[in-house]
């Protein structure tokens, strides 16, 4: 198919996510036709270094032979069968592998050994919210009917997930439709809502969280957070101790802790799961994105035995969890995920990250010196560069200027594919990226920030 026709069809038929289509219709889009390692090739034959892992999903690089073969082998046997009253082999094997991985990685509480499948991060969160609520109902505790979440939090785009979201730009318009939740201040040190400075503040935002939980614990089902990094809110990296303290608060006031590791899971923070850094085991964890290396849609909501057992009973007790999706536990997706988890072991992916994490840290320190860079934030292989009009006052650029967007558009001219969060430049390449390519990525970002901010 020729490029001109594809662009015409795209603009005529596709409504792109998180995109102002009026602007889109005036621009020429990139059409990707091939991926290899950490690179994407467009229809013109130009290769781009994938600096955001194709929206944070690619871990091991594009076209990994092991995953290709796993999916091909599975499609020769079975493409799909339902998990409603039936099983399939890949979903069983993957559930066992994930349960063992979670138990080994997060050994500080009750093991997360029960796996509920869905197909994306939003649905994983919806399932977590419903499980958490019904857990209390099944025990005869009906007062618990609200959730606590964080400002600038993001948990997906379905109505339940939006109800516990806190990104005003994304969520404000839907407020009349949403279930009520309670929002606590985000541990966003650069723009602290409490006007304090870390570490002299003593993590005061955690004290604010305790006030909220203490005053409302009888009606709070759970606290839901993205542990250590609030990604879609602007790569907000938490101060040390916040997550550990939050786990202790949930224990103290008898509310569940839901960890949304959709973006942070599978090695992104330098550990398999972000919760490992502060030795926290949540009651429920949500996983997606990197689970299949971007090959197929798949998500997991994992819970402990205590929660699972609360749903066991006679039919007439109506304790069943009435939730499911048509493609739950899809064999092709599960086969891809099994192969992806094997690559972690075979390639020693996590063991090879420290030099890359250190390189990223050092290059960010250089970028932090630029006159229009207000803050740089990093956890493992996740980084955000916040651009500001005034470094001293932290005054942001006007949204109308689209400064972050201008930076990434220029980077694309130099063969680096990025997507910003407003004026935060996101760096989240595949974990397999070489040090040479990581350095190139950051040099291009630095140069583009200088060029755009000096205009």
- Please give the Cα distance from 188 to 310 (Å, whole number): 36
**Residue 273 is encoded by which pair of tokens?**
């799961």
Say how many C-beta atoms besides its own lie within 10 A of residue 45's C-beta: 8
- Please give the pLDDT value at position 180: 86
- Please give the Cα distance from 275 to 228 (Å, whole number): 8
Residue 234 in marked binding region: no
Residue 326 in marked binding region: yes
Angle made by CA atoms 108, 114, 118, in degrees to the nearest 5: 120
Going by C-alpha positions, the residue among 132, 59, 140 that lies closest to residue 337 is 59
Residues of the chain with CATH 3.40.640.10: 72-347
Residue 163 in marked binding region: no
Residues 225/246, Cβ–Cβ less than 8 Å = yes
**Residue 290 is encoded by which pair of tokens?**
């990197």
User: 130 exposed, middle or buried (CB, 10 Å; 0-12, 13-18, 19+)?
Assistant: middle
Instruction: For tokens 């651009």, name the residue.
Output: 387
CATH fold label, 31-59+350-453: 3.90.1150
CATH fold label, 72-347: 3.40.640
- Please give the Cα distance from 159 to 171 (Å, whole number): 10
Residue 154 in marked binding region: yes
Residue 289 in marked binding region: yes
Low-confidence ranges of the chain (pLDDT < 70): none
- Please give the pLDDT value at position 454: 84
Residues 436/359, Cβ–Cβ less than 8 Å = no
Side by side, the strands of the sheet bearing 382-387 are 373-379, 382-387, 424-427
Residue 121 in marked binding region: yes
- Please give the pLDDT value at position 199: 94
Question: Residue 382 forms beta bridges with which residues?
Answer: 379
Residue 91 in marked binding region: no
- Please give the Cα distance from 162 to 155 (Å, whole number): 7
* Angle separating helix axes 242-253 and 204-216, nearest 10 degrees: 20
**Residue 343 is encoded by which pair of tokens?**
């690559």
* End-to-end Cα distance, the chain: 39
**Residue 407 is encoded by which pair of tokens?**
């930076």
- Map residue 172 onto helix, strand or coil: helix
Secondary structure percentages of the chain, helix, strand, coil, to 5: 40, 15, 40
DSSP element (H, E) containing 147: strand 146-150
Residues of the chain with CATH 3.90.1150.10: 31-59+350-453
Say how many C-beta atoms besides its own lie within 10 A of residue 67's C-beta: 25
Residues 34/43, Cβ–Cβ less than 8 Å = no
**Residue 98 is encoded by which pair of tokens?**
């994930």
């Amino acid at each position: 198919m020729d490029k001109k026709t594809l662009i015409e069809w795209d603009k005529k038929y596709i409504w792109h996510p998180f995109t102002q289509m009026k602007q889109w219709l005036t621009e020429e889009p990139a059409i990707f036709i091939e991926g290899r390692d950490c690179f994407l090739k467009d229809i013109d034959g130009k290769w781009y270094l994938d600096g955001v892992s194709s929206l944070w999903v690619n871990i091991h690089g594009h076209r990994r032979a092991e995953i290709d073969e796993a999916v091909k082998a599975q499609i020769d046997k079975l493409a799909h069968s339902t998990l409603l009253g039936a099983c399939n082999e890949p979903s069983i094997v993957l559930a066992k592998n994930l349960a063992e991985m979670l138990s080994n990685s997060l050994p500080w509480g009750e093991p997360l050994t029960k796996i509920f499948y869905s197909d994306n991060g939003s649905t994983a969160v919806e399932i977590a919210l419903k499980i958490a609520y019904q857990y209390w109902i099944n025990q005869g505790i009906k007062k618990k009917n609200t959730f606590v979440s964080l400002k600038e939090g993001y948990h997906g785009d379905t109505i339940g997930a939006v109800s516990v979201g806190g990104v005003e730009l994304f969520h404000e318009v839907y407020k009349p439709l949403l279930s009520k939740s309670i929002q606590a201040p985000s541990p966003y040190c650069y723009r602290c809502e409490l006007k304090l400075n870390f570490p002299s503040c003593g993590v005061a935002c955690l004290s604010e969280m305790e006030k909220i939980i203490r005053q409302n614990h009888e009606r709070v089902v759970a606290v839901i957070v993205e542990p250590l990094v609030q990604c879609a809110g602007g790569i907000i990296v938490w101060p040390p101790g916040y997550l550990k303290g939050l786990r202790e608060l949930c224990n103290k006031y008898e509310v569940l802790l839901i960890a949304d590791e959709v973006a942070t899971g599978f090695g992104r923070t330098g550990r398999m799961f972000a919760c490992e850094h502060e030795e926290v085991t949540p009651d429920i964890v949500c996983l997606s994105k990197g689970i299949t290396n971007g090959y197929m849609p798949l998500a997991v909501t994992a819970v402990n035995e205590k929660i699972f057992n609360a749903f066991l009973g006679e039919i007439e007790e109506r304790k069943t969890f009435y939730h499911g999706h048509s493609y739950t536990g899809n064999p092709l997706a599960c086969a891809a995920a099994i192969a992806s988890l094997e690559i972690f072991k075979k390639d020693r992916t996590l063991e090879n990250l420290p030099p890359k994490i250190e390189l990223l840290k050092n290059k960010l320190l250089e970028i932090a010196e630029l006159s229009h860079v207000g803050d740089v934030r990093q956890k493992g292989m996740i980084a955000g560069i916040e651009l500001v009009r005034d470094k001293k006052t932290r005054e942001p650029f006007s949204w109308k200027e689209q400064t972050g967007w201008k930076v990434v558009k220029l980077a694309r001219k130099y063969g680096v594919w990025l997507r910003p969060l407003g004026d935060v430049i996101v760096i989240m390449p595949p974990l397999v990226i070489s040090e040479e390519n990581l350095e190139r990525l950051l040099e291009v970002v630095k140069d583009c920030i200088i060029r755009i901010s000096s205009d």
